[in-house]
Amino acid sequence: MDYPFKNNVPDPLLSGDELPTFKFELEKSQGRVDGGSFGKEATVDQLPISKGIAGVSMRVEPGVTRELHWHATAAEWAFVLSGRCRTTVIDPQGNSEINDFDAGDVWYFPRGHGHSIECLGNEPCQFILIFDNGYFSEFGTFSITDWIGHTPPAVLAKNFGLPASAFANFPKQEVYFTHGAPPPEIAPLPHSGMLRSPSNTHRYRLMANAPYTTFRGGREWRVGADEFPISTTMTGVILDLDAGALRELHWHPTSDEWQYVISGQVQVTLFGSRGRYRIETLNAGDVGYIPQGYGHSIENLGDTTARVLIVFNTGHYQVIDLSQWLAGTPDYLLRDHFAQAENIIAQFPREDLFVVEKKST
């Protein structure tokens, strides 16, 4: 029997006679709730096919901060859906960066970089977090309150040069969402009194730029390591599909694909070899997942533009479109493969379509 391979390791989940579901209704899940703030995640626990990428939808209210923490086993790529927020981050060289983000902006934190996220202004902020490890859980991060709360007071006293009694009223458990006054509009200096910025910024203004590609049927914004050098393990895309448009059948040779529908309703197809084919309908707030190398397409089923956030677990995006493949193949091979007459093969596209717009009636 032929087995699909991921990094040369057989994946039993993808070796069956039928493809497993690749859809999860993220925004309908419960997650972790603190008043009007929440974190909802999609890992292999919720979506078993998604072994290469995990995702989180997070909403933070004014005066709330996702506390200081780091991720031991995953880098974090994020897209701000609404509102404003501020991040602080420190890297292994001791450089620190404080950035303010608006809707449409992106950040990237390499594995192990300590950071926090706080809401700015008087309106809640919501963002989508994507991690380059499908087994990673946002609720298993390394949080500062958890660490301090479980370290013996004598160790803390020696570490900080303070009496052990100074830590008597510190939290004993992870806080996760901290509560306080809204932060100042102008970010103050770090506790050290000095800001040393890293050579590569953690912030990229994706939607403030012109689309990477504009085509009949939609638009695409894309950012990877070439445009955003710190983002070495992930590439992000915002794909707008006009009503009825189809992101054509294609595959990605070097990465998995994680999808989050921002608006609209789309139909996603998945081809997994050996006659296995599956179709899922994704609505706003739903997540889709495509394993590396699997054929797929995305079609807008609605009457208005659909917007999809798509993230790949590679800093350097690669794709092969079906129309591109066939256009690069001699006609005699196409005739023999499909057992069709020359006049039928002559009608096939002679260039990469990428997106096919809805035909007018």
3-state secondary structure of 308: strand
For residue 90, how many C-alpha atoms fall within 13 Å in the half-sphere facing its CB?
A: 12
What's the rounded Cα separation, in Å, for the pair 39 and 129?
A: 10
What's the rounded Cα separation, in Å, for the pair 256 and 14?
A: 14
Question: In the annotation, is 250 catalytic?
Answer: no
Question: In the annotation, is 202 catalytic?
Answer: no
Q: How many residues are listed for the chain in this entry?
A: 361
Instruction: Decide if 53 contacts 82 (C-beta within 8 A).
Output: no
Beta bridge partner(s), residue 278: 270
Question: In the annotation, is 138 catalytic?
Answer: yes
Residue among 115, 202, 222, 307 flagged as catalytic: 115
What's the rounded Cα separation, in Å, for the pair 356 and 296?
A: 14
Question: In the annotation, is 115 catalytic?
Answer: yes
Structure tokens at 101: 């983000």
Residue among 61, 138, 174, 299 flagged as catalytic: 138
Q: Of 154, 311, 299, which is closest to residue 241 (Cα–Cα)?
A: 299
Residue 13, φ and ψ in degrees, nearest 5: -60, -35
Residue among 59, 61, 66, 113 flagged as catalytic: 66
Residue among 61, 67, 76, 174 flagged as catalytic: 76
Residue among 41, 61, 67, 69 flagged as catalytic: 69
Residue among 41, 61, 67, 71 flagged as catalytic: 71
Q: Which of the residues are catalytic? A: 66, 69, 71, 76, 115, 138
